[in-house]
Homo-oligomer: A and B are copies of this chain.
Amino acid sequence: MACVRALRRTDADIKLIDRRNFHLFQPLLYQVASGGLSPANIAAPLRSIFKRQKNAQVLLGSVETFDTVNQKVILEDQTQVSYDYLLVASGSTHHYFGRDAEWEHLAPGLKTIEDATEIRRRILSAFEKAERTNDPVARAAFLTFVIVGGGPTGVEMAGAICELSRQTMKNEFRDIDPSSARVVLIENSKLVLDRYHESLSIAAAKDLKALGAELWNETRLTEIHSDHVIVSQSGTPKRLDACTVIWAAGVKASVLGKKIAEAINTPECIDRAGRILVDTQCSIASHPRIFVAGDLAAFPTADGKSLPGVAPVAMQQGAYVGNLIANEIRGQRPVKPFRYWDKGNMATIGRSSAVVESGRMRLTGKIAWLAWLFIHILYLARFENRVLVMFQWFWNYVTRNRTARLITGEPNDELHTK
């Protein structure tokens, strides 16, 4: 999107190919998963975004393969789309450390709208099943929620489930006490948010515990089953009965990385995480007209690592590539390499609590939460969504209610058969 926008004043003929017809504002996906917002509140139709940019055409399609010799993208029905310049920015997906087949269905991750509504369905159904059963062991397992991974998504998800069970659901059940639900955050390393400054990690841990979450640090997940997980703490296995497991741990690059490498016949252009190694102009060294941006790109940094897979990197790279192509169309290729401007990191823990770092500034508590609120409203793609989200947040803040708590989908669920 940033690249398409940067090309708006050129006479380029732009095709934006996406599998989905909308842009998703992923940072708020956890709020859909916890029943606070509706999917449409954090999504905007691509067509409506680029309605006025006449040189851009949106095509709903899935890329099957690339033909870099003839400069064509091949879609799922063999439709061919020609290009002079190609930007691939298909992001990343969940990664279960080699156990995808076993764990994917037991522990859904949070990347798509469908993931979010599925997680919402599982969380809400668990409380419903706990209310229905008389077996105390089963009830405890229904009321135990395991979140794997203590990064921003894991922390936000854990905070949201704590609030849901302790505040939103208060007085709503008759046979169970929803506030007795256990929310267990499992993290390999010593601290949650381990890429943040240590003081913020400690503040986040404190706030999470205050909300009722249990932090199991230095804990490795070894097994997931439908009603329990097994973890390893300093080598000692430990069993935890839990029916709901949410994956917020690893991600891997989109499969299109491998397909580009195959197309250009250069297997060494992908790194171990499946990302494409790009040069300082975000292009593939051997193919200067093929660009890769965002989570799919491994962009080298000075310290020999690569830029993190976060939205600001993707947006800045997209705009950079757009400007570079615009310049080339005008007859000049800029030599200035891409520079990432790191505006900082933030994560919210719950009502009135967040952590923010930007440069040397570090905020925690209410002021960080207000900063988080402001930034997220600002980045939401469309004005209407901003008002809708603000109103719902205000309402949820005052009433502690969450109105988007719908159990939908999954027609093969035993309860919804006709």
Contact = CB atoms under 8 A, between A and B. Distances in A.
Interface in A59-98: 59-62, 76-77, 79, 93
Nearest to A382: B403
A171 B54 CA distance: 9
A21 B128 contact: yes
Contacts of A418: 93, 255
B20 A407 contact: yes
Interface string A381-411: 0101101100110010001010111111101
Most chain B CB within 10 A, of A20, A54, A384, is at A384
A403 B48 contact: yes
Interface stretch (A35-43, A140-148, A307-315, A365-373): A35-43
A262 interface: no
A22 interface: yes
Interface size class of A (residues with CB under 8 A): 35 or more
Nearest to A21: B407
A114 interface: yes
Contacts of A20: 407, 416
B384 A403 contact: yes
Copies of this chain, complex-wide, total 2
Nearest to A129: B60
Interface string A123-156: 0110011011000000000000000000000000
Given A51-B172, A255-B418, A387-B391, A43 B113 contact: no
Given A414-B76, A415-B76, A48 B405 contact: yes
A408 B131 CA distance: 30
Interface string A1-30: 000000000000000000111100000000
Contacts of A183: none
A344 to B, nearest CB: 30
Interface in A168-197: 169, 171-175
A57 interface: yes
